[in-house]
Structure formats: structure tokens, C-alpha cells
Chain A
Amino acid sequence: MLTGRHLIDPMDFSVEELDEIFDLADQIITDPVQYADACKGKLLATCFYEPSTRTRLSFEAAMLRLGGQVLGFSSSESSSAAKGESVKDTILTIASYADICAMRHPKEGAPKVASVSSPIPVINAGDGGHQHPTQTLTDLLTIRQLRGSLDNFSIGLCGDLKFGRTVHSLIKALSRYENIRFVLISPEELKVPEYIREELEMKPGVDMMEIEKLEEVMDSLDVLYMTRVQKERFFNEADYVRLKDSYILNKEKMNLAKKDLAVLHPLPRVNEISVEVDNDPRAAYFKQAKYGMFARMALIMKLLGVESC
């Protein structure tokens, strides 16, 4: 039962509960008109203590397409946090206005703090470098849509695997499915943290390899998940400049890949995927952004416990 629950960590929901959300998302994608008034009379609060156009708009679009309405703030300066209000007090106030809340906060664990006191469902829309569970829902739904299943495939995760929270969450989420081969492609400096590697190694039947060069494995991948090398993750400019172009996906590398490869990226992209790849039918990252909205629509409906009209 998902009604009234919070989504703070990508592992908060079981595989069966995720299937419930994805099955509903499939139905929304097939027949969106049927869901156009599903959340009529409901209010989503988007509490964004730091700017994030993409995630906030995706949440707002999701609620508006369900016939609901949205309110909120998009930076801590425009909220009472600037006056020193606690997260707990903010959510208790918001809960007296809205039916559900999506919260982004630069501090890790802030949405969890909100969920402990909140009488309405709280969705973690990103807490610092910690978790971003609706991105994981987006990634899983995209793979499921494109491949028809979340079992039996080979996924390459490329770029900043050390600081990239979307990558960590996706690896953990996928490790619960059958027969997934993980290929972790990154420079030595940006390898996945030890605890993620250990968790993967502890799972029976998980196949994992770590390599440095993308072109060496392109032909074996069914899904390629590219990530941005973020400037703010580096301690100095020189390291950033040295590494930022290490893993760029271009036409040449795409020529080595399978015909049914799906290229994913959480966006925004800087230059890790060359624009020449955009027209390749295997480039799925803009579709992925759209699936993100459908995943959030299904999630909102499930947490609010509303049905189609």
C-alpha cells in the first residue's frame, strides 16, 4: 500500500511496489486523457531550497497534467528558511495548505527530517549529494519502457561514478533485479565508492566489472548511462580540466555499439555527449526526461491514493 507513504530513499519501495508505480505510469503514457483530472482539487507543494529548474518543472508538469495545482518556492531566499525557520516547522505549515510535498534541499537528510513530522507524503526531490529517488524512478521506468523489462541486460555507467548520486541509487536499485551485468566506466579518480562496490559484490549472481575506457566495452552494452563530471565536485580547477573531457560519447563510439543500445543521461548535459549523437535513434535522454514526468505522475497518484477518473 503506497497511499500516505513518503519517498525519501530509492530503496524505500519494494520491487513489487515499484512495479505498481511503473504499471500505472505505463497506463498514463498509453492514455493520458483518462488521468487528466485524477488529482483535481489536490495541491502539490514544491519546496525547493536550492534552484533546480528541471526537477521542479517535472514535478509541476506532472501535477498539472493530473488536473491538480501547485504552489511553492524555488530557493531558500524566497522561503522562511532565510529567517531561520526549521525544516520541521516549514513542513508542518505547508501540510496545512497542501496535500503532498516535493522537497529539494542542499543539506543531506532534510527531506527525511520533514517526513518524520509530516502528516502529508513527502517526496525527496534531491538532498545535496545524497539521494534523488525520483531520478531513479525515471531511470528505471525509461529502461523498462525501452527494453520491456528490468531483468537480463548489460548496463554501462560512465563518467563521475564517485560523486554521482544518481549512479549510486541506480546501481542499488538495479541490483534487486535478475541477471544484470554492471560495467563501471570511470577514471581512477572517479570510481564508485568502496561501499557500493562491496554491496554489489555481496549480491549473489551480480556480474560487475570496472574499466577505464568506454570504447572497449561499447559493443557489449544494452544500456549506457552517461553522467556529467561536475566542476563543483573537484577540489581544484586543474583536476577538473584534466578529467572533464575523458569520457565523451560521440558518433565514433556510437558506431561500435549495438543497434538497440539505449543511451541515458540524467541531464543537464555539458559536453559528455556530443550533440551529433542527439539524432541517433539510440539517444534516449530526452525521452527519459519525459518518462520522468510520467513516473512522477504515477508516484503522486499512488502516494495520494487517487484513481483515474
Chain B
Amino acid sequence: MLKVDSIERGIVIDHIAAGKSMKIYKYLNLDEANFTVAMIKNVCSKKLGKKDIIKIENVLDIDLNVLGFIDHNITINIIENDKIVRKVNLELPMEVSNVVKCSNPRCITSIEQEIEHKFRLVNKEEKLYRCIYCDHAYDPNKQDL
């Protein structure tokens, strides 16, 4: 079995839906990171069957808000001195930029490539986001991230 060491200090992003860790890696701009990052795929999980995990060493100040939009089941543990010192509760971000594209073919973003794709939270209970330009709803069931 593959063994990945625990970290002494840093962030553990756990319960990522299996196969989604690469996207989270991208949205958190971890490809540009100069610190140690471990991405573990298809780990056995009681809760999810299989899951992905990302471990980030020695860095605690990453903006994780976008994860609330990507997957609400994700859990985040802040580790210091080998111990979990805090669990971060993910909140739905008020606005997300360039995470998903507007799928409305009539939206201005469909013809002007340089416009940021921005979605605003319009209903917290229903986790409903709409494009700030055309009001088209983002449907996570129909549109993959």
C-alpha cells in the first residue's frame, strides 16, 4: 500500500470526490506553488467509497473559499505540531470567478473570450449561482466543473 507521510504543519483537504483533486489543485493555483504539495488519489473511504486527498506542507494562508462552491463535502483540517488544531467549515462563496463557464449560448461571454466568467450566489439554501451577466443558473448536475 502506498504510504504518504503525515504533515507536521499545513493543510489537509480531505473527502474530495475521487478524481476531482486535479481540478482543485488547479483552482487553488497549486501548480504555481513553490511549497510541498501531495495529491493522493483513490484512497479508500468509509464515507465516499473512494476519495482524493491533498496535503499542503508548511502553508496555512491559502484562500479556500472556492472549495465551498466546488464540493460541499470537502473537509479541511489545519495541522500544527502534528495535530489538527482547526477544522475549517466551508462556506458558499458570494462570488466565483473563472471556476465554471456560463453555458448559455446567448451570453456575451460566449463570444468575448477575455471576459471573466463570474457567478454570484443568489440562493444560499438551494446553493444557486447565476451568471452576473446573463443571470443564467449554474446547474452542477448538468455541468461538470
Contact = CB atoms under 8 A, between A and B. Distances in A.
Given A130-B134, A130-B135, A109 B114 contact: no
Contacts of A301: none
B106 A86 contact: no
A302 to B, nearest CB: 24
Interface string B60-104: 000000000000000000000000000000000000000000001
A112 B118 CA distance: 12
Interface in A91-119: 105-110, 112-113
B56 interface: no
A128 B106 contact: yes
Contacts of B133: 108-110, 112-113
Contacts of A88: 112, 114-115
Interface in A190-212: none
A129 interface: yes
B107 interface: yes
Contact of B112 (A86, A106, A127, A128): A86
Q: Is the interface of B mostly helix, strand, loop or mixed?
A: loop
A87 interface: yes
Contact of A108 (B112, B114, B115, B134): B134
Interface size class of A (residues with CB under 8 A): 10 to 19
Interface size class of B (residues with CB under 8 A): 10 to 19
Nearest to A105: B108
Contacts of B104: 108
A106 B110 CA distance: 12
A108 B103 CA distance: 12
B107 A107 contact: yes
A87 B112 contact: yes
Interface in A119-160: 127-130
B108 A129 contact: no
A204 B134 CA distance: 27
Contacts of A129: 106
A113 B106 contact: no
Interface in A74-90: 86-88
Nearest to B110: A107
**List of 3 A-B pairs having minimum Cβ-Cβ separation, nearest first:** A109-B133, A108-B134, A107-B108
